[in-house]
């Protein structure tokens, strides 16, 4: 498994950077959660909620940009035959 470039610098929670790195399919969800976090941040005691949204979506952006992510996700979602053992599943998937 490759090492993820976890960045905890200022760009890690920059909404523009996160949005740019996200796949198109994830952008609307990010914007919805980001706007909700912004609304919540108007209350001082809820500011951390915005930071948590940005941190979580930064991790999504890192994960989804990894080479082979889409293929691995499709494989994980592929059906298995009833009664198929874990050894059979592993052998079939590693043979690909």
User: Does 61 reside within a domain?
Assistant: yes
User: Does 2 reside within a domain?
Assistant: no
Contact 63, 69 (CB under 8 A): yes
Q: Supply the pLDDT for residue 95.
A: 76
CA distance 89 to 48: 42
Of the two residues 47 and 31, the one the predictor is more confident about is 31
pLDDT at 5 over 70: no
Q: Considering the entire predicted model, what is its pTM?
A: 0.70
- Residue 83: enclosing H or E segment and its boundaries? none
Mean pLDDT of 15-28: 94
The boundaries of the domain holding residue 80 are: 10-94
Minimum mean pLDDT range among 3-7, 22-26, 62-66, 76-80: 3-7
Looking only at Cα atoms, what is the longest distance across the chain? 54
pLDDT at 60 over 80: yes
What's the total number of domains in the chain? Answer: 1
Q: Supply the pLDDT for residue 62.
A: 92
User: Does 4 reside within a domain?
Assistant: no
Q: Supply the pLDDT for residue 1.
A: 45
């Amino acid at each position: 498994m490759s090492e993820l470039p976890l960045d905890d610098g200022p760009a890690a929670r920059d909404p523009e950077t996160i949005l740019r790195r996200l796949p198109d399919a994830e952008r609307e969800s990010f914007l919805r959660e980001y706007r909700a976090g912004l609304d919540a941040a108007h209350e001082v005691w809820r500011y951390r909620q915005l930071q948590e949204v940005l941190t979580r979506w930064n991790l999504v952006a890192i994960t989804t940009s990894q080479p082979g992510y889409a293929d691995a996700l499709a494989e994980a979602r592929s059906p298995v035959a009833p009664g198929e053992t874990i050894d059979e599943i592993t052998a079939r998937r590693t043979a690909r």
